[in-house]
Structure 1
């Protein structure tokens, strides 16, 4: 009976972890990179990942950047991602084209590149 309970718990935890990975992973994207340039309108950095609202032409997009440790590892400093900053990004857009959301893999501030997910190259 105890073995059955432990097995059930392990299975449950595996399912919960899988759902969390799907939410915070790449499953919602197209799997193809695009480049976009825009101006940051709003910034919320933190966990589980940073969010930038970026004006790209007439549209407002949501760009997901890395977790604080990932942004720091890429070389970003406090204040680099701020309102009014022009940003160029390469990343994967949402598979649902009506969802103006992009998971950023690489971003550029001026001529300097910051690789948030170098393991995906």
Structure 2
């Protein structure tokens, strides 16, 4: 009985602390809640888990842009190679609350005339 109580207490502690530690970086809490429109050229792309990250040169300023997880990008219609170095991209999304960060979370991506909606209903 004592071992069961200890295990239950440990599991409860795990559940309580998980959202604050495991997901602190993710989500939208670091953004402003408003959208900006950013156009530039991808200079670096890292498209893996937990989410993809692009470095975009927009008029000489390098922005870090979080895009979706691989499954989210695929669901939006993005294919391998769409988000690659040298590709011109237009991104609508939420910037960091601190403008000096030059960081944003993409909601919509435009490549040429194609629109890819990563987060439906967030506009």
TM-score (norm 1): 0.91
SS, match of residue 28 in structure 2: coil
Question: How many residues are matched?
Answer: 121
1:8 Cα deviation from its structure 2 partner: 4.3
1:60 and 2:62 are equivalent in the alignment? yes
1:28 and 2:30 are equivalent in the alignment? yes
Map of 1:37 onto structure 2: 39
1:12 Cα deviation from its structure 2 partner: 2.8
1:109 Cα deviation from its structure 2 partner: 0.3
SS, match of residue 118 in structure 1: coil
Counterparts in 2 of 1:1-121, with a 5 A limit?
1=2, 2-3=4-5, 5-121=7-123
- Computing the radius of gyration over CA atoms, which structure comes out larger, 1 or 2? 2
1:15 Cα deviation from its structure 2 partner: 1.6
Between 77-86 and 20-29, report the one with greater CA deviation: 20-29
TM-score (norm 2): 0.89
Q: For residues 20 and 111 of structure 1, what CA distance do their matches in structure 2 show?
A: 37
What's the C-alpha RMSD, in Å, of the aligned pairs?
A: 1.5
Q: For residues 53 and 95 of structure 2, what CA distance do their matches in structure 1 show?
A: 14
1:96 Cα deviation from its structure 2 partner: 1.2
